[in-house]
Each structure stands twice: as structure tokens, then as C-alpha cells.
Amino acid sequence: MKLHGITVPHKKNTAHCAPVRIPVPKTVTIPMSMHIGRPSKPTVKRGDEVRVGQLIGEPDGFISVPIHSSVSGKVTKIDEMMTAMGSKCACVVIETDGEQTVSEDVKPPEVNDLDSFIAAVRSSGSVGLGGAGFPSYVKLAVKNLDAIDAVIINAAECEPYITSDTSTMREKIGYVFKGIEHLRKYLGVKRFIIGIEENKPHSADRMKKLAEKSDGVEVKLLPSIYPQGGEKVLVYNTIGKIIPKGSLPLDVGVIVINVTTLAFIAEYLETGMPLVEKCITVDGSAVKEPKNVIAPIGASISDVIESAGGFKTEPAKVLYGGPMMGIAVPSLDAPVLKNTNAIIAMDAREAAPPKTTPCINCGACLSHCPFRLDPRAIARAYKKDEPAELGELMVDLCMECGCCSYVCPAHRPLVQTNKLAKARLKDYNAQKAAKEKEGKA
């Protein structure tokens, strides 16, 4: 079996740019929902003085993580904000004092076994920093460690523009390998594969040299084919295992962890500083000075853009993430999140959607889909409102990578239709399950 994909322009304009720390913003807005799972609950109130690294949001359930202040200053309000996904969540607004005084609570955790390691990862506030935002401690809290054959470290970074992971591999490569040793020690895993695209030769060479000194670590150089960094794609292209629909990497004996996430965990164990800032790629046709920056979580996008020289032209669209899977932000007041790896600002020419024409049934979408789904058939079933057929077409397997829309000569909004179709199928399955439960009552 061969997994398909597309070749996209790399546009790694900032690959050799050392990250620059932005000035401390006047205010930060820190959402309580920056991870997959239940939002955190604020632990501070208006008027409270806070310091860098201080807990300001506690987990509210198993799949939830703590949230810490990225600045020192005073809480001005506990508010509600609209997220880029259209939902609302609580947020903590802090007026900074510019001092960046570190909390007395910031100290290296005591780790001596698997349980204390998992607890430390949870306390760090770590989530998937490649963009997914899944709580790291949940991923690492494996019930049956004997079933884990390998850890795959995702260093693919396949989206155009984004180089924040590349920055990690350049600036913090030592922490990547310290992270590997922590996983080896506490999880007992013996095999580690670093999957990296061949368009990053400098990082790959450094990885290979360090891997030679570390038992059980191999570097897998991968073709620069998007979406190489997709979890299921990466697992197949590194170790040849197929993750079935509805399954996780754990089900095939694999843990997949982003390279920046791994480096952060190692750094936290050494310093005790929780996740309070992010390295972000700032780029796009509307940005004056593309660069990588280090920004406190909660800083506004306008603060980040200003640190990159501002706009050289009026932006028509600004994204969290890359141009393939990024999410358009509703306002430049939107904050930097834990899983923000890039802010891409496009001018009118780059952002303008092409004119859509009728489907010519060329099959390009099918032949380039990583999972060989048929977006043409999915679009027809969605238009006719046939949710059962959507299930048979396995639309819920779609990872929304955008390959189908990218290659469509008719410029059909295929990935958008797939997303709507997935939501329709989810509703249909929920209604079906409710009827079956009612029938058994």
C-alpha cells in the first residue's frame, strides 16, 4: 500500500532565523481552552497579582491541563471570549507590569518513577505543540507499556511557511535527546524513530550525529510530500504500520510525539518553568519582516505582527497555523495559544479564493488523498443528504488536510464539504444511537 499526498511550495523563508523574543505586551488574554478536552477553570480573580509560571487555571477532568500565567502583573478581569472555532470560553485578562517576575512555585519537579513523570508532564501544562493540542500526559499515560514497540518523534513540519519545529531542532536539539532519554527511562521504550522531511538537511544531519551516540535512536529521512506530518501518514511512512479507522497509534504499538513537545517536556523537568510561551513562525505575503518569534501565551496577534515589522500590505486573511490546515482568526486581538506554531498573514491576492467550476470527474482528488477517500462521492452524498452513504464512504476518516481542494482543477471546496459531511454523519450516528437506546428501554 502506498499513501498518497501532494507536493506544495515549501516557502520555509524563516528556516535559518533564530527566534527573537517580542517585547512584553501591555496586556495578555489567556483562554482556559487551549487543548483538546474540557476547558480549565480559573483559579484567580480580578485584582489578584500574578507572576510568570503561576497557576491561573486548574484542569476540569481527566482530559484537561493546567494553565499558567505567561506574565507578571495584575488580573483585570475574568472574561468570556470567542475562539477561532466559533465557541466561547472563559479567559483571564492580565495587565502586565513589564517585570516578568517568576513565581516562587516554579521549580524542577521531583521525578523518580513513571507515576511522578506522568504527574510532572501534567503539571507542566504540556499539549501537542505541533498544532493538535492534545494533552501530553494523557498520550504518555499508557496502561500497557509492554505493547509499545516504538516512539515516533514527529519532526516532519510539512506545512508551507512553518519553521517553529525547525527552530527547536536548531536551538534546543539537546533537549530533544534528553526527552528521548526520559521516555526511555520511565516508559521503558527501546526504539525511537525521528521522522524528518528531506527539505531540512541541516537539522537531519545534526539529528543523525546525535542519534549515533544514543542507543535505539534512528533518523528516518522522509520525502517532502504533504501531509507527511499527519499522524497516520507518519506512522505508515516510518514503520509501515496502518492505523485502522477509529484507532489510535497506541493500538498499533506506537506513541507519536511532536519534536517541540518532547523538547519542552525535557526542559520543564530541568527548569520547572511550565508552558508559558511559544516559538511562532510569522510569515505570509502581508508580513513585512518574516521571522520566528518567542511570544508569551495570551499575547495578541497584533503584538506578534508588530514584532515582525507590521504589515507591508493590508491583510485579507490571517491564520493560526499554515495555509493548508490553518484556522482563520476572527480578529487581530485573538491571542497566542499553547498550540500556536505559526501566524500567517495573506494579502488579497494570496487569500482570494479561485473561481469554482463544475466537477469534471478527473479523479485527482481521489488519487492524491492520503487515505484514498473519494471527495466527489462524498460531495454528492452530502448534497443529497444521505448520511448512511457518508458512513460507507468513510468520510469520518478524513483528516481535513486539504489535498483534495489543492489539486482540484475545478477549485471545488472539497475539504470544506468533507468537514460539513463529517458533522452530518456525527449527528446521524448520535440520532441512530439514541433511537436504538430508546427502543431497548
Centre a 10 Å sphere on the Cβ of residue 12 and count the other Cβ atoms it contains.
Answer: 19
Say if 158 falls within a structural domain. Answer: yes
Say if 55 falls within a structural domain. Answer: no
Q: Which residues contact 410 (CB under 8 A, 6 or more apart)?
A: 356, 357, 358, 359, 360
Same domain, yes or no: 136 and 259:
yes
Same domain, yes or no: 253 and 377:
no
Amino acid making up residue 349: R
Same domain, yes or no: 251 and 382:
no
Number of domains into which the chain is organized: 2
Rounded to whole angstroms, the Cα distance separating 426 from 396 reads: 8
Same domain, yes or no: 129 and 257:
yes
- Give pLDDT, residue 1: 46
Say if 186 falls within a structural domain. Answer: yes
Rounded to whole angstroms, the Cα distance separating 378 from 332 reads: 35
Domain that holds residue 377: 364-440
Rounded to whole angstroms, the Cα distance separating 119 from 110 reads: 10
- Give pLDDT, residue 82: 84
Retrieve residue 74's grid coordinates: 495584575
Write down the pTM of the prediction: 0.95
Centre a 10 Å sphere on the Cβ of residue 116 and count the other Cβ atoms it contains.
Answer: 13
- Give pLDDT, residue 2: 54
Say if 389 falls within a structural domain. Answer: yes
Instruction: Give the CATH number for residue 159.
Output: 3.40.50.11540
Residue ending a domain, choose from 237, 271, 305: 271
Smallest CA-to-CA distance from 28 within 5, 7, 60, 54 is with 54
Say if 294 falls within a structural domain. Answer: no
- Give pLDDT, residue 265: 98
Rounded to whole angstroms, the Cα distance separating 370 from 231 reads: 11
Retrieve residue 415's grid coordinates: 475539504
- Give pLDDT, residue 3: 56
Same domain, yes or no: 263 and 383:
no
Rounded to whole angstroms, the Cα distance separating 324 from 7 reads: 12
Say if 426 falls within a structural domain. Answer: yes
- Give pLDDT, residue 193: 98
Say if 287 falls within a structural domain. Answer: no
**Model confidence pLDDT, tens digit, residues 183-242:** 999 999 999 999 999 999 999 999 999 999 999 999 999 999 999 999 999 999 999 999
Smallest CA-to-CA distance from 179 within 121, 253, 107, 237 is with 121
Same domain, yes or no: 248 and 147:
yes
Say if 27 falls within a structural domain. Answer: no
Residue ending a domain, choose from 255, 271, 287: 271
- The ranges of the chain with pLDDT < 70 are 1-3, 441
Residue ending a domain, choose from 241, 271, 301: 271
Strands of the sheet containing 254-258, edge to edge, are 217-222, 192-197, 150-154, 254-258
Same domain, yes or no: 133 and 245:
yes
